[in-house]
């Protein structure tokens, strides 16, 4: 976002200048970098070549989330058929694919018959060898011209004596799945699966090569008072006029709706912000903060609107005495606060089972003596891996534990259930979360790893707890580039670009274990996604209960996409916006405002720290004190230093941010 400030009063009289001045602030969004500062939903994308904002082509229709196990199965035979229905409002598309999760596949050459809308039969023949990502997910092309608006029916039956198996998710609605035990004469939509025990939806999805009906992009909160001042210290101001110029291509059957809202606080509040307002409405003038959103929509699924640029003009009225800066910011540490478009559910500090985990497994002892914050992560990862003596074994009760660290460890300690990379990473992530450290689970090619937020390195870092299947060495590791630990995206890019200059594996024992595998292990990062929660100790749902026993099928993961990594059609959540994956959870943002007193500044603090406990501030040579998110800072002549940080309810502190002002 480019910002220009123009003084509108060069020809004003001396009396006018004594009373007030006016300025116009121009905010310009013209390229992908500008637009990607904003958040947007999964139906929006920003083209890096044209810099246009548009709808994403490709809609995955699904009635389930894949929240089921590999034992929730339905069998398809010559006489036992299954039916799956999809409601399609607008069937126009360039192509369509029926996506069937086939858990148990017959021998190559066997055929599955799909009858579409009682009009056309499509035959799928099992292949000799499947690629990794298509091991269970089966893409079957469907002629678009036989699809219609409304309910579309797909009937699947086996040819020959062999059977096929699909998965089922329990859900009473929308009641779009049924089976026939008598070759299509009668249908039952309530008694599905083994022992007729399931009432739900088959894990069958439909991908249409078309545009979704709408998508939304939304800006962050824009501080008009700060922009008007230019020196970083906001001034009281009133809004005279707002003007929005949206550069779009005029395309029939599409439109772009634009709205804004205004507020008097730096974060949205019911009492302090207006409702969303069309740009044709009048502008209230008592607000300092601005936020906008635009909704792209189409009535034709083969066409998308395009937004080429956005210019915002804000005329502000500033008291003259407030517009004459008597101080300036001469030094500051204020990293950009990046926000994701998607909510992440963190484990709460008061979760009872998190407290049990911490105490039962003596996690404080595990990190005792750590030489740094990052060393704590390394110790927790190594501790987690050493809880297994016979990894990758289904255990005495032949059971794959769900993503619950407490249950996983109880089973592992008795060698009762399976332990594999999924469980190693889950235990590591839950151990971190139970201590108040930030960690999350990631899925890559046939593997599960974790990322942690490191205050020490001020970034997300990949840690692989279960990458060593050898129970003799049990090496856990992370990648580094020129000595700096790497994120999953950085490893992904190294593999995509085949650029491993300065790339290695650490710590030392892991480097020795994988000294010949740096490049080959990076191949596992060809594709990755993040699980948007780490609070499974509170509740297991939603998720994939037996993750890792078969091809990934849970549709709640957020997958990365780029030019070399196109989306998989059976998943509906993809993003190429780096901020959606790499937000800054612990940064503390400082906003300064002039007050009515020349020696006092108003300070406004904000952070995305989970389980936020307190803000701490240090003013000059004074001691650190607890402060609210809004407080007053009394200045003295000369230099004034303000240092701030946040603590969470576990007692961990963020890195300090600071600024130094000079008063004249």
- 478-530 pLDDT per residue, tens: 999 999 999 999 999 999 999 999 999 999 999 999 999 999 999 999 999 99
Point out the domain boundary residue: 149, 178, 208: 208
Point out the domain boundary residue: 556, 581, 606: 581
Q: What is the pLDDT of residue 347?
A: 97
Helix (H) or strand (E) holding 111: strand 111-116
Q: What is the pLDDT of residue 322?
A: 53
Please report, in angstroms and rounded to a whole number, the separation of the first and last CA atoms in the chain: 31
In this structure, is residue 331 part of a structural domain?
Answer: no
Residue-wise pLDDT tens digits, 163-186: 999 999 999 999 999 999 999 999
In this structure, is residue 477 part of a structural domain?
Answer: yes
Domain range for 428: 352-581
Q: How many domains does the chain have?
A: 4
Query: What is the spatial distance between Cα 492 and Cα 524, in angstroms, rounded to a whole number?
Result: 8
**419 and 399 co-located in one domain:** yes
Check whether 8 has a pLDDT greater than 80: no
SS (H, E, C) 216-271: EEECCCEEHHHHHHCCCEECCCEEEEEEEEEEECCCCCEEEEEEEEEECCCCCCCC
Query: What is the spatial distance between Cα 289 and Cα 224, in angstroms, rounded to a whole number?
Result: 6
**138 and 222 co-located in one domain:** no
Work out the average pLDDT over 43-69: 95
Work out the average pLDDT over 605-630: 96
CATH number reported for the structural domain that contains residue 556 in this entry: 3.10.620
Instruction: Return the closest-CA partner of residue 85 out of 256, 225, 205, 208.
Output: 205
Q: What is the pLDDT of residue 19?
A: 45
Residue percentage of the chain with pLDDT more than 70:
95
Q: Count Cβ neighbours within 10 Å for each residue of 578-595 and write b for 16 or more, e otherwise.
A: ebbbbbbbbbbbbbbbbe
Q: What is the pLDDT of residue 9?
A: 45
**387 and 264 co-located in one domain:** no
The two structure tokens encoding residue 499 = 């650029």
Q: What is the pLDDT of residue 280?
A: 73
Write down the mean pLDDT value for the chain. 92
SS (H, E, C) 293-346: EEEEEECCCCCCCEEEEEEEEEEEEEEHHHHCCCEEEEEEECCCCCCCCCCCEC
**556 and 608 co-located in one domain:** no
**384 and 465 co-located in one domain:** yes
What is the residue whose two structure tokens read 């990473």?
425
**382 and 525 co-located in one domain:** yes
Work out the average pLDDT over 575-590: 96
Contact 477, 510 (CB under 8 A): yes
List C-alpha distances in Å: 366 to 372, 426, 450, 544. 13, 17, 18, 29
Task: Supply the DSSP symbol for 656.
Answer: P
**412 and 560 co-located in one domain:** yes
**424 and 458 co-located in one domain:** yes
In this structure, is residue 652 part of a structural domain?
Answer: yes
In this structure, is residue 347 part of a structural domain?
Answer: no
In this structure, is residue 542 part of a structural domain?
Answer: yes
In this structure, is residue 337 part of a structural domain?
Answer: no
**226 and 368 co-located in one domain:** no
Contact 525, 500 (CB under 8 A): no
In this structure, is residue 341 part of a structural domain?
Answer: no
Give one word for 142, left, alpha or beta, with left for phi > 0 and alpha for psi -120 to 50.
beta
Contact 425, 466 (CB under 8 A): yes
Query: What is the spatial distance between Cα 279 and Cα 344, in angstroms, rounded to a whole number?
Result: 32
Q: Count Cβ neighbours within 10 Å for each residue of 278-315 and write b for 16 or more, e otherwise.
A: ebeeebeeebbbbbbbbbbbbeebeebbbbebbbbbbb
Point out the domain boundary residue: 517, 546, 581: 581
**357 and 392 co-located in one domain:** yes
**313 and 399 co-located in one domain:** no
Characterize the bridge pairing of strands 306-319 and 20-29: antiparallel
In this structure, is residue 139 part of a structural domain?
Answer: yes
Check whether 326 has a pLDDT greater than 90: no
Work out the average pLDDT over 44-57: 94
Check whether 633 has a pLDDT greater than 60: yes
CATH number reported for the structural domain that contains residue 81 in this entry: 2.60.120
The two structure tokens encoding residue 191 = 């008694």
**399 and 311 co-located in one domain:** no
Radius of gyration for the alpha carbons in the chain, expressed in angstroms and rounded: 29
Query: What is the spatial distance between Cα 613 and Cα 387, in angstroms, rounded to a whole number?
Result: 32
| 239 φ/ψ angles, rounded to the nearest 5 degrees | -90, 120
Query: What is the spatial distance between Cα 6 and Cα 63, in angstroms, rounded to a whole number?
Result: 53
pTM score of the predicted model? 0.94
- Which string of DSSP letters, residue by residue, matches 423-478? HHHHHHHHHHHHHT--EEEEEETTEEEEEEEETTTTEEEEEBSS----TTT---BE
Residue-wise pLDDT tens digits, 379-392: 999 999 999 988 78
Contact 56, 47 (CB under 8 A): no
Contact 652, 436 (CB under 8 A): yes
């Amino acid at each position: 976002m480019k910002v220009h400030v123009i003084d509108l009063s060069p020809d004003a009289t001396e009396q006018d200048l004594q009373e007030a001045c006016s300025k116009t602030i121009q905010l310009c969004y013209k390229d992908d970098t500008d637009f990607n500062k904003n958040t947007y939903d999964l139906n929006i994308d920003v083209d890096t070549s044209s810099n246009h904002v548009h709808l994403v082509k490709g809609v995955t229709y699904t009635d389930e989330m894949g929240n089921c196990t590999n034992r929730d199965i339905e069998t398809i035979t010559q006489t036992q058929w299954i039916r799956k229905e999809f409601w399609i409002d607008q069937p126009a598309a360039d192509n369509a694919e029926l996506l069937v999760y086939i858990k148990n596949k017959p021998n190559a050459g066997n055929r599955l018959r799909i009858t579409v809308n009682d009009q056309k039969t499509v035959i799928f023949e099992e292949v000799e060898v499947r690629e990794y990502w298509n091991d269970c997910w089966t893409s079957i092309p469907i002629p678009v011209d036989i699809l219609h608006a409304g309910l579309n029916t797909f009937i699947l039956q086996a040819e020959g004596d062999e059977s096929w198996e699909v998965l089922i998710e329990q859900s009473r609605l929308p009641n779009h799945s049924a089976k026939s035990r008598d070759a299509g004469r009668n249908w039952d939509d309530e008694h599905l699966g083994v022992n007729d025990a399931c009432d739900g939806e088959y894990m069958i999805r439909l991908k249409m090569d078309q545009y979704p009906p709408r998508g939304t992009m939304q800006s962050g909160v824009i501080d008009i008072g700060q922009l008007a001042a230019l020196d970083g210290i906001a001034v009281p101001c009133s809004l005279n006029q707002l003007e929005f110029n949206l550069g779009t291509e005029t395309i029939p059957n599409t439109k772009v709706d634009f709205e804004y809202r205004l507020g008097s606080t730096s974060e949205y509040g019911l009492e302090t912000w207006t409702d969303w307002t069309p740009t044709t409405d009048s502008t209230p003038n008592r607000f300092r903060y601005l936020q906008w959103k635009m909704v792209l929509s189409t009535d034709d699924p083969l066409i998308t609107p395009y937004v080429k640029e956005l210019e915002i003009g804000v005329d502000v009225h500033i008291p003259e005495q407030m517009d004459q800066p008597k101080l300036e910011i001469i030094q500051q540490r204020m990293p950009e606060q990046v926000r994701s478009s998607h909510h992440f559910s963190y484990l709460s500090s008061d979760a009872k089972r998190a407290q049990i985990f911490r105490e039962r497994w003596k996690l404080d002892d595990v990190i005792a003596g750590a030489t740094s914050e990052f060393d704590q992560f390394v110790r927790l990862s190594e501790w987690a891996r050493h809880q297994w003596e016979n990894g990758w074994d289904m255990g005495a009760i032949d059971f794959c534990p769900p993503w619950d660290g407490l249950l996983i460890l109880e089973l592992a300690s008795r060698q009762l259930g399976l332990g594999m990379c999924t469980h190693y990473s889950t235990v590591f992530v839950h151990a971190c979360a139970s201590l108040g450290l930030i960690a999350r689970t990631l899925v890559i090619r046939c593997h599960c790893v974790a990322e942690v937020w490191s205050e020490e390195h001020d970034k997300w870092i990949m840690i692989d707890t279960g990458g060593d299947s050898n129970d003799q060495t049990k090496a856990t590791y992370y990648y580094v580039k020129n000595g700096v630990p790497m994120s999953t995206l950085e490893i992904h890019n190294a593999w995509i670009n085949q650029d491993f200059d300065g790339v290695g594996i650490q710590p030392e024992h892991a480097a020795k274990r994988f000294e010949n595998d740096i490049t080959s292990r990076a191949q596992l990062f060809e594709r990755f996604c993040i699980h948007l929660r780490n609070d499974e100790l509170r509740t297991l749902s939603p998720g994939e209960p037996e993750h890792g026993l078969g091809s990934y099928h849970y549709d709640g993961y957020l997958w990365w996409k780029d030019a070399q990594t196109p989306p998989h059609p059976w998943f509906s959540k993809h993003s190429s916006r780096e901020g959606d994956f790499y937000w800054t959870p612990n940064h503390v943002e400082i906003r300064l405002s002039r007050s009515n007193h020349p020696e006092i500044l108003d300070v406004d603090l904000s952070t995305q720290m989970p389980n936020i406990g307190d803000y701490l501030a240090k003013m000059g040579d004074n001691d650190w004190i607890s402060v609210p998110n809004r407080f007053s800072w009394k200045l003295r002549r000369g230099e004034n230093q303000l240092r701030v940080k946040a603590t969470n309810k576990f007692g961990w502190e963020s890195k300090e941010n600071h600024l130094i002002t000079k008063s004249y």
